[in-house]
Amino acid sequence: MKYSFFTLLYFSLIFHSFSQGFPEKKIESRIQEVTLFLNGAQVFEKAQTSIPAGESLIIIKGLSPYLEEKSIQVKGFGNFTIQAVNKRMDFLSEKDQSETVQKLQAEINKLDISMQQDALRLEVLKEKISLLDANKNLRGNQGGPTAAEFRQALELYDTELMKIKTEQMSLDQKRAEKRVQIRQLENQIRSIQESKQESKSEIRVRVKAPSAGNAQLEFNYLVANAGWYPKYDVRVKNVNSPMAINYKAEVYQNTGVDWNQVKLRFSNGNPNQSGVAPQIDRWDLNYARLTVFQPRNTQPFNGTISGMVVSASDGQPIPGVSVLVKGSTVGTSTDLDGRYNLTIPPRAGSLMFSFVGFQSQEVPITNRPTVNVSLIEEATMLEEVVVGGINEQLNGRTAGVTVRGATSYKKSLASSINLQTTFQENQTTVEITVNEPYTIKTNGERTLVDLKNYDIPATYQYKVIPKLDKDVFLIAQLADWSQYSFLEGESNLYFEDGFVGRSILNAGALEDTLAISMGRDRSIVVQREKVESFTKKRTIGSNVTESRGYEITLRNNKSQAISIEVKDQIPVSVNSNISVSAIELSGGKLDSDTGIISWQITVPPGSQQKLGFQYEVKYPKNEKVILD
């Protein structure tokens, strides 16, 4: 424990006035529902007890240490009045180890004892080697051994030493395997124990009743270190079938309290985000040398990032770390080995790493596929934090705590077990209710919850940019997609009953049609070649004229015709002395602003088609341009 006797005394004095003279009733509560936000969760609990006549104190124990006091809301049902509600940390009670942790620790103890026995055996074997070495000098009757005696002694020494060395090697290997097992068990225990803290919080409710009776309390609060990420499984059987989308939620929770058979709701809101509308300030324009410029990441990474998150103090992997693309809903959490893998959306700037007991860390994305992070532990541990404001009461209530009372008793309603989800669109958020109860342990492990399955009509379009990538991509386009309440998130792609890769479902797009990349189709082969007969350079007067020509060949190896969009480009001049002219485009459409050429063609099954384009560049002969 990191607090002293004086710290305990200080807390005792703080709460002395709150509980002095009142009989106390310590009870446990049960979590009924949890609303998960993208960052944080709202927990709904119920508790029931008997209370005496007069004033008394109901203490609800075993709550998350990351409960936010200002978010507590309490309703009472029965013949009593709620006078005040407070939250405080329960430093005097230690966290009960779960049966799983105890079993794992017992296995570690057995392995430790076994390793000690192995070490003792190795010491015995060393002594046997020493004994052999001490007796290897051979003496015969006449100053030396006979050939037969020498051979017999040599064979004995060889046999015994070989046995000892073989046993040593076997013991060393077993010890190494046991060390690995111990490390795995320790990591598993560490993942189960959501943090190093041994304290929990409690809610203290002061009530007053005219007579003894029963009291039911319903309360809810916000808790940190929990949330969810949207995930998708996108399946397309063929280009003539609708798209099947399995909408999922990847849930993480490190609140310190297990959620056992609770009803889950998922909200796209974020209660930790400021709800204050921004205001624009005056823009003062001055000379550049007097202006402070904030650089931006102009080369964001677009792909997949993986890595490991470890503790900076001991280098041990940390399971359950939240990894979030800043400014988006794309995220994941680390596995039991501290590893993560995340698909990055376009224009992503940085990753946010956060975990209870450690300082959050923001890491910029700079075109690197691997990002390893060492998190630094918080300097102030949870049990050292002083919870203030406990005695600040206003008209019988505590500042920052909402209290609701009632004089009629209300029976709890049975929870639904329908295997369905309900989408409810509120004024500013969308909530998805899962009626099937779930159990989610506070161990950092990721839990996937099915939210909804959709069969959505889609149109399919093949696209290829052979200058950049010769693989053909299948793009599915969904019209009127806003009715499905999708959020931006990772998607696993399945085409023709095979896994083809991962992508990002960009639900933040402003277009009426949502485009989803279904990955690469290897059945369509594309080749782009420079045509040497069109590659020329000649000087006319004071100018140089260079020409280039390219040929694109597409072959459709599929059993059905395909519609494909092909894109290439010619350069765009930004200098008045350089001119660019398109000579031949094979029916393609040229965007003069970007220089992009687009072809929309249909390729029959088992056939190929060629496209070509040529352009010419003229510039002063004393200059040089780069065309290849």
> SS3 string of 67-119?
ECHHHCEEEEECCCEEEEEEEEEECCCCCCCCHHHHHHHHHHHHHHHHHHHHH
pLDDT at 148 over 90: no
Q: Is position 565 within any domain?
A: yes
Q: Report d(CA 540, CA 508) in Å as an integer.
A: 53
Q: Is position 443 within any domain?
A: no
- H or E segment and range at residue 429: none
The HSE-up count of residue 464 (CA atoms within 13 Å, CB side) is: 28
pLDDT at 300 over 50: no
| Phi, psi of 94, rounded to the nearest 5 degrees | -95, 150
Ranges of H-type helices in 300-362: none
Q: What is the mean pLDDT of residues 266-288?
A: 69
Mean pLDDT lowest for which of 143-157, 444-458, 548-562? 143-157
**Domain containing residue 130:** 99-135+151-192
Q: Yes or no: say if 31 and 413 are a contact pair by the CB < 8 Å rule.
A: no
What confidence tier does 401 reach under pLDDT thresholds 50, 70, 90? very low
Q: Report d(CA 370, CA 344) in Å as an integer.
A: 12
Q: Is position 79 within any domain?
A: no
Question: Residue 161 gets which letter from DSSP?
Answer: H
Query: Which two structure tokens, joined as six digits, stand for 576?
Result: 């008045």
Q: Report d(CA 83, CA 266) in Å as an integer.
A: 33
Q: Is position 301 within any domain?
A: no
Q: Is position 338 within any domain?
A: no
Q: What is the mean pLDDT of residues 571-583?
A: 91
Q: What is the mean pLDDT of residues 356-383?
A: 80
pLDDT at position 2, please?
39
Q: Yes or no: say if 297 and 367 are a contact pair by the CB < 8 Å rule.
A: no
Q: Yes or no: say if 464 and 566 are a contact pair by the CB < 8 Å rule.
A: yes
Mean pLDDT lowest for which of 256-270, 344-358, 374-388? 374-388
What confidence tier does 97 reach under pLDDT thresholds 50, 70, 90? low
pLDDT at position 13, please?
43
Average pLDDT along the chain: 79
pLDDT at position 291, please?
63
Report CA 135 to chain centroid distance, whole Å: 64
Q: Cα dihedral sign for 506, 512, 514, 515?
A: negative
Q: Kindly report, residue by residue over 204-253, the tens digit of the pLDDT.
A: 999 999 999 999 999 999 998 899 999 999 998 888 889 999 999 999 88
Question: Residue 380 gets which letter from DSSP?
Answer: S
Mean pLDDT lowest for which of 54-63, 302-311, 378-387, 389-398? 389-398
Query: Which two structure tokens, joined as six digits, stand for 224?
Result: 């940190």
User: What global pTM score does this model have?
Assistant: 0.59
pLDDT at 429 over 90: no
Beta bridge partners of 307: 340
pLDDT at position 17, please?
45
pLDDT at 99 over 60: yes
pLDDT at 43 over 90: yes
Closest to 114 (Cα-Cα) out of 184, 163, 177: 177
pLDDT at position 589, please?
94
Question: Residue 317 gets which letter from DSSP?
Answer: B
Q: Kindly report, residue by residue over 470-512, the tens digit of the pLDDT.
A: 999 988 888 878 778 788 888 898 888 788 888 888 776 656 7
Q: Yes or no: say if 460 and 475 are a contact pair by the CB < 8 Å rule.
A: yes
Q: Report d(CA 14, CA 86) in Å as an integer.
A: 12
Longest C-alpha distance within the chain, in Å?
A: 113
Using N-to-C axis directions, what is the helix angle for 99-134 and 147-192, rounded to 10°?
Answer: 160
pLDDT at 415 over 60: no
Query: Strand, coil or helix: what is 246?
Result: strand
pLDDT at position 430, please?
72
Query: Strand, coil or helix: what is 269?
Result: coil
Q: Is position 23 within any domain?
A: no
The CATH number given to whatever domain includes residue 536 is 2.60.40
Query: Strand, coil or helix: what is 216?
Result: strand
pLDDT at 411 over 70: no
Q: What is the mean pLDDT of residues 608-616?
A: 94
pLDDT at position 406, please?
37
Mean pLDDT lowest for which of 124-138, 441-455, 519-533? 124-138
The HSE-up count of residue 579 (CA atoms within 13 Å, CB side) is: 7
Q: Is position 394 within any domain?
A: no
Q: What is the mean pLDDT of residues 419-446?
A: 71
Q: What is the mean pLDDT of residues 563-583?
A: 92
- H or E segment and range at residue 379: none
- Between 216 and 127, the more confident residue is 216
What confidence tier does 132 reach under pLDDT thresholds 50, 70, 90? confident
- H or E segment and range at residue 9: helix 5-19
Q: Is position 89 within any domain?
A: no
Question: Residue 522 gets which letter from DSSP?
Answer: T
Q: Could you tell me if residue 201 is left (phi over 0), alpha (psi between -120 and 50 degrees) or otherwise beta?
A: beta
Beta bridge partners of 44: 33, 220
What confidence tier does 274 reach under pLDDT thresholds 50, 70, 90? low
pLDDT at 42 over 90: yes
Q: Report d(CA 248, CA 48) in Å as an integer.
A: 35
Q: Report d(CA 190, CA 104) in Å as an integer.
A: 11
What confidence tier does 403 reach under pLDDT thresholds 50, 70, 90? very low
pLDDT at position 54, please?
92
Q: What is the mean pLDDT of residues 117-137?
A: 79
Q: How many domains does the chain have?
A: 2
Q: Report d(CA 335, CA 118) in Å as an integer.
A: 33
pLDDT at 389 over 60: no
Q: What is the mean pLDDT of residues 559-571?
A: 92
